[in-house]
Structure formats: C-alpha cells, structure tokens
Amino acid sequence: MSTTFRSDRAAEAIRMAVSRTLREEISDPSLQNVTITRVEVTHDLSFARVFYTVLGGADERTAAQLGFDRAAPFLRSKVGEEVPLRTVPDLGYKFDKGVENQMRMDEIFATLPELQKDK
C-alpha cells in the first residue's frame, strides 16, 4: 500500500495517534493489551489499514477486533484531530500475523540440527 515518502509519514503519524489514543483515552478492556505494530496507507491517503497484535489467544483476538469495531468512529475522529491531513482516511483494523509467523519460524529454526550449537 504505502509507497511514497508522504504516505509513509502519514502512516507513522496515524500509528502514533492510534497508539496514544488506545493508551490514554480508551477504557475498553478488550483493547488494553493491544499493540499497534504498523499502518499501511493507500497512495491517495484515503484508507489506512492498522495492524495490531494482542496478548493472548484467539478469544483475545476476537475481542480486540470487536473492540476496534466499537471504537472505530472515536479513533478516526482522534486521528483527524492529531494528524494534519486534508481528509481523514477510513481506518481498517487487522490482526498482524507477522509476529506469530516470526515466532513459529524461530521454533522451526531452533529444531534444525545444523543451527544447534555443539555440546
């Protein structure tokens, strides 16, 4: 999605605004253990996909997604107040599987005999 310097700066500003709002202004318990990992913005800055991780399993992921669905209008208004863009992008929220995938790859690599230290 994000391919230009301008959209990269907008993505980082949106990530910071959403993170700050979650940390300081949202009291929904389902969003308390959420970490915003990255944001991808379309070239025309009309849509931003916010990627997040959450401590816990599938139940916590589902609860976090429902929490984002409930908080979406408030989060968008906060992004509009904090990020100086002509129009506020629509925000979509998606669980970031990258962290899980990295942990799984680390587990796989740890079992390879070629990578284990000689004892």
Q: What share of the chain is helix, strand, coil (3-state, %, to 5)?
A: 55, 20, 25
CB 88 within 8 A of CB 76: yes
Q: Which domain holds residue 107?
A: 5-113
Would you say residue 14 lies in a domain? yes
Radius of gyration of the chain (CA): 17
The count of structural domains within the chain is 1
What is the DSSP-derived secondary structure letter of residue 89? P
Would you say residue 85 lies in a domain? yes
Would you say residue 118 lies in a domain? no
pLDDT at res. 101: 72
pLDDT in tens, 37-85: 999 999 999 999 999 999 888 899 999 999 999 999 999 999 999 999 9
Would you say residue 119 lies in a domain? no
pLDDT in tens, 10-23: 999 999 999 999 99
CATH number, residue 103: 3.30.300.20
Burial of 12 (0-12, 13-18, 19+ CB in 10 A): middle
Q: Kindly indicate the confidence band of residue 2, based on its pLDDT and cuts at 50, 70 and 90.
A: very low
Residue 115, pLDDT above cutoff 80: no
Would you say residue 9 lies in a domain? yes
Q: Where are the beta strands (DSSP E) in the chain?
A: 34-41, 47-54, 90-95
pLDDT at res. 29: 93
Would you say residue 78 lies in a domain? yes
pLDDT at res. 5: 78
Residue 119, pLDDT above cutoff 60: no
Would you say residue 20 lies in a domain? yes
Would you say residue 81 lies in a domain? yes
